[in-house]
């Protein structure tokens, strides 16, 4: 029995040594291997966020912003530089919301445009690792509740990274919408999208859920903004209006319930963001070129109304 325990101990020790060596080599030598991917653009978004020290507009949310905002148009209308942090739904609301905290300063306007309020956690941990790669500062974006799932996904990331490194297939150019090169300097997808390619179904146009964690996430961001002399607002997101869309009354009820739980102001009437399905590109949240213009103008109008009301109440 003693000899058996000694063998097990030696095996575990060797396993730990090899694991630590693999992790060190992966993160210190092999990574990054996915810089040309869609989520590789997060580095550019955060770099832009950190580079602007004057009052700015920071857009927070998933790919409904990446595929649904003309930041140059918004910047011209407001006279403030814009940072579009719109990311990927698989990373969850917490990961994407925490990105804004890298640089929020005096006079900033942080606008949250989530497509749902019950998507706190990371649904795709493997994607999160590809986003983080060898950038330790990005680890702060992961909510504590996700640590175990992230740990389970780590071997997969290590394996893919080492394979790409040793075969020389990492960081190869990627064409199309889902690549780092598809983003402009603001963080918008700029590739032309002239008409819809998406078939809507019963799962589309539904009223989002609301969870305690997601409400707490936005309220925490609001408190963070206040401490730094910034303001946090919630705005609408593109809602495909068609056969399967829930009624305006149901969306109004959702907005009232959300408003009652948030510490910050909702500046949009969500039903104003009902948009014909012809404005959507390849998912129920990604817009065509024309749809982007319509949605951006809606947000510009909402910001303008909020500013007018703020001045009137002073």
Q: Within a domain: residue 298?
A: yes
Q: How long a stretch of residues is the chain?
A: 314
- The answer to whether 100 touches 110, Cβ cutoff 8 Å, is yes
DSSP secondary structure letter of residue 27: I
If one counts the domains in the chain, the total is 1
pLDDT of residue 56: 98
- 26-43 pLDDT, tens digit per residue, is 999 999 999 999 999 999
Q: Evaluate whether residue 98 is within a structural domain.
A: yes
Mean pLDDT of 172-192: 95
| Angle ∠(168,171,176) on CA atoms, nearest 5 | 130
- CA-to-CA distance for 79 and 254, rounded, in angstroms? 32
- pLDDT recorded at residue 6: 64
Mean pLDDT value across residues 52-56? 98
Average pLDDT over residues 61-66: 98
Q: Which domain holds residue 227?
A: 29-307
Q: What is the mean pLDDT of residues 286-302?
A: 98
Q: Is the pLDDT of residue 168 over 80?
A: yes
Kindly state the average pLDDT of the residues 1-18: 63
Confirm whether 192 is domain-assigned.
Answer: yes
Q: What is the pLDDT of residue 312?
A: 78
In this prediction, residue 20 has a pLDDT band, given cuts at 50, 70 and 90, of: confident
CATH at 222: 3.40.50
pLDDT of residue 11: 60
Q: What is the mean pLDDT of the chain?
A: 94
Does residue 3 form part of some domain? no
The two structure tokens encoding residue 100: 């804004």
Task: Identify whether 242 is part of a domain.
Answer: yes
213, part of any domain? yes
Spatial distance between the Cα atoms of 309 and 45, rounded to a whole number of angstroms:
31
Cα gap 58→235, rounded to integer Å = 12
Please report whether residue 8 resides in a domain. Answer: no
Distance (Å, rounded) from C-alpha 116 to C-alpha 83? 21
């Amino acid at each position: 029995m003693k000899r058996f325990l000694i063998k097990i101990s030696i095996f575990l020790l060797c396993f730990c040594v090899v694991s630590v060596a693999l992790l060190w080599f992966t993160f210190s030598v092999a990574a990054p291997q996915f810089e040309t991917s869609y989520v590789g653009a997060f580095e550019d978004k955060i770099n832009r966020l950190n580079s602007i020290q004057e009052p700015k507009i920071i857009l927070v949310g998933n790919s409904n912003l990446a595929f649904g905002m003309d930041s140059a148009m918004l910047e011209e209308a407001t006279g403030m530089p814009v940072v579009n942090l719109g990311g990927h739904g698989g990373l969850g609301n917490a990961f994407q919301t925490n990105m804004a905290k890298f640089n929020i300063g005096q006079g900033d306007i942080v606008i949250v445009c989530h497509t749902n309020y019950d998507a706190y956690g990371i649904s795709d941990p493997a994607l999160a690792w590809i986003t983080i790669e060898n950038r330790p500062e990005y680890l702060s974006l992961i909510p504590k509740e996700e640590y175990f799932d992230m740990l389970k996904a780590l071997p997969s990331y290590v394996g893919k990274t080492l394979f790409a490194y040793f075969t020389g297939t990492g960081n190869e150019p990627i064409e199309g919408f889902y690549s780092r090169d598809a983003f402009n300097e603001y963080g918008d997808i700029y590739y032309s999208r002239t008409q819809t390619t998406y078939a809507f179904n019963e799962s589309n146009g539904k009223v989002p859920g609301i969870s305690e964690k997601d409400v707490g996430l936005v309220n925490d961001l609001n408190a963070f903004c206040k401490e730094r002399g910034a303001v946090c607002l919630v705005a609408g997101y593109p809602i495909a209006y068609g056969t399967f869309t829930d009624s305006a009354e149901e969306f109004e009820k959702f907005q009232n319930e959300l408003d009652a739980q948030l510490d910050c102001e909702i500046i949009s009437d969500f039903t104003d963001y009902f948009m014909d399905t012809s404005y959507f590109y390849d998912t129920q949240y990604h817009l065509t070129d024309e749809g982007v213009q319509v949605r951006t103008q809606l947000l510009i109008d909402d910001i303008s109304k909020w500013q007018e009301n703020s001045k009137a109440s002073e």
